[in-house]
Chain A
Amino acid sequence: MARQAVKPGVTPQRLLGAASGPAELQRHSLLSFFELSKELDYSLNVYDFADRALFNFMGHLGTSRSALWLRPLDGSGGVVLVRAHGFPEAAARSIGDCIGKLADRFLRDRQTLFVSALTGILSAAEVELLRERGVALLAPILAPDALLGAVALGNRIGDTAYERFELEVLQASIEFFSVALQNTMFSQQMQENNRELRRANDTLKELDRAKTEFVSNMQHELRTPVTVMQMYLESVLEELPAESGHREHLAIVMRHTEKLKKMIEDLLDFSSLSSHNLEVPTLPGDIAAALRDYAEKRRNGVALQLHDFRLALEADLPPARFEPGRLFQVLDIVLDNAVRFTPAGTHITLRALRQQEERATWVRIELEDNGPGIPAHKLPQLFVAFQQLDGSVTRENTGLGLGLALANRLAEAMGGRLLAASQVGKGTTLTLLLPAA
């Protein structure tokens, strides 16, 4: 993906040069291009970008089927289906497999490929599959030196052929789309990096607090045996005859025991200053507005990793007791985990609904993904500090394993609870319960 802003290579001269067909269709084609150039708003995320482009191409060329794939930012693996319209999702995924095999060809020729011209490039079965699915053409989305993804368009309604000038405008549109997408993703990646740095800083603070707590606990453990030693030493000293030669030795032991005790006391004072109990003052607030605000802030960054992030709020959610900064911290931890531990193409939904219990009303906030899921025996480890589910040294996702433990503490500090449920092969749901106000 782009590391710096990209300039478009589409010029008015090139577009006008392409316009050589029937006047009305020419005009429609060019207008479609200019509409697209206005519609690709800088604030959109990858999924909105794909929707706007695909609807534009469909209306430009008169086809009822289209789909768009992108490669993950880190360039790993094949293309990931971002959006499909008119193609069933399973069909779109199998088309994506074919696109992966065309990557070298796209990079070399930098041209739209008609399915009719793919014989000999793809296997006969693959060409037949594309035909059966109603795919007419596959167009690459290119950066100067990389394939970013591809667009598939279906046959035109009425089975009329794609005109040359229409294809040239389409190619220019995809080129423009590619430039706008790269620049937007570059800018959004920077924003996302800043957010991750802020979160890493929060984690470091928590690590520091956990370390202090650990030292504090150890000091209590140390102080008790030293106090016992002192008591017995005093008792022995009292009973020893005044002329005993051992008195001098025991006095030295006593002095050093006192010194050790003083050092432990000092350490204890220091740690009690830095180890304060986590207190989160909460106020009643509009939880629906807070979640909308949160989803708006995170949607683009999540989409960058090719995860489709959606918000689903139940109507008439009651207000809840929470502290916005801490709530966002919990949601960040849970959402970042979902993004890190599920593959590109995963759907993530942030949902909120009322949960009525006999004596209490809660606002139930769920973060659900359709990723690979977590085995039942590993779920209890989720909220344990310094534990990652994959404890091997070769694990892909590094980290301290503090995130969910902290999220759990924060949830409890706001009077709520954090729960986890998962099914292997189906996905994982982390649930934050907050007391209704």
Chain B
Amino acid sequence: MLRSRDSVVPEDFAISGPHQHGPVTLLVLSGRLDGKAAQDLQQRCAEIRNLGYAHVALDLAQITFLASSGLGVFLAETEACKDAGGALYLVAVSPVVAAVIKLLNVDRFLSIVPSVEALLSSISS
């Protein structure tokens, strides 16, 4: 199973955004999504939901490592956004993320889209 790319230097986790694209609030994530990062991400998502934005998208193209905790937050936030009347979208999923999602067979539960443009056009249609 692929979990990290060949790198000896651990990349710090970073969240950029939120960027508003129509009804969707986008966060761009980069680096290692481990336990601490998962907690930070969940708190940011909760803040966005508390402001009334229930359609949240996470750009995962620059995620270099996905711990179980990271996947756990995707699953928890999918439920939370659904309860708030919206959805969580995983955008531009990197190979390390795709591998874990496929392994656990949770891809049908998650909303995975190739790009923000594709997401916006699917919502508008």
Contacts and interface: CB of A to CB of B under 8 A. Distances in A.
Interface of A: 24-25, 27-28, 31-32, 35-36, 38-41, 48, 51-52, 54-66, 85-86, 88, 157-158, 160
A62 B100 CA distance: 10
A58 B108 CA distance: 16
Closest 4 CB pairs of A and B: A39-B35, A59-B68, A55-B72, A59-B71
B118 interface: no
Given A86-B75, A157-B75, A59 B67 contact: yes
Given A31-B68, A88-B83, A157-B109, A59 B75 contact: yes
A56 B66 CA distance: 11
A55 B35 contact: yes
A247 B119 CA distance: 111
Interface string B56-83: 0000000000011111111110111001
B94 interface: no
A56 B72 contact: yes
Interface of B: 1, 3, 34-36, 38-39, 42, 67-76, 78-80, 83, 100, 103-106, 108-109
Contacts of B80: 85-86
B65 to A, nearest CB: 10
Contacts of B39: 48, 51-52, 55
A55 B76 contact: yes
Contacts of B78: 64
A65 B42 contact: no
Contact of A24 (B34, B73, B103): B103
Contacts of A55: 35, 38-39, 42, 68-70, 72-73, 76
Nearest to A41: B36
A421 to B, nearest CB: 23
Contacts of A58: 68, 71-72, 75-76
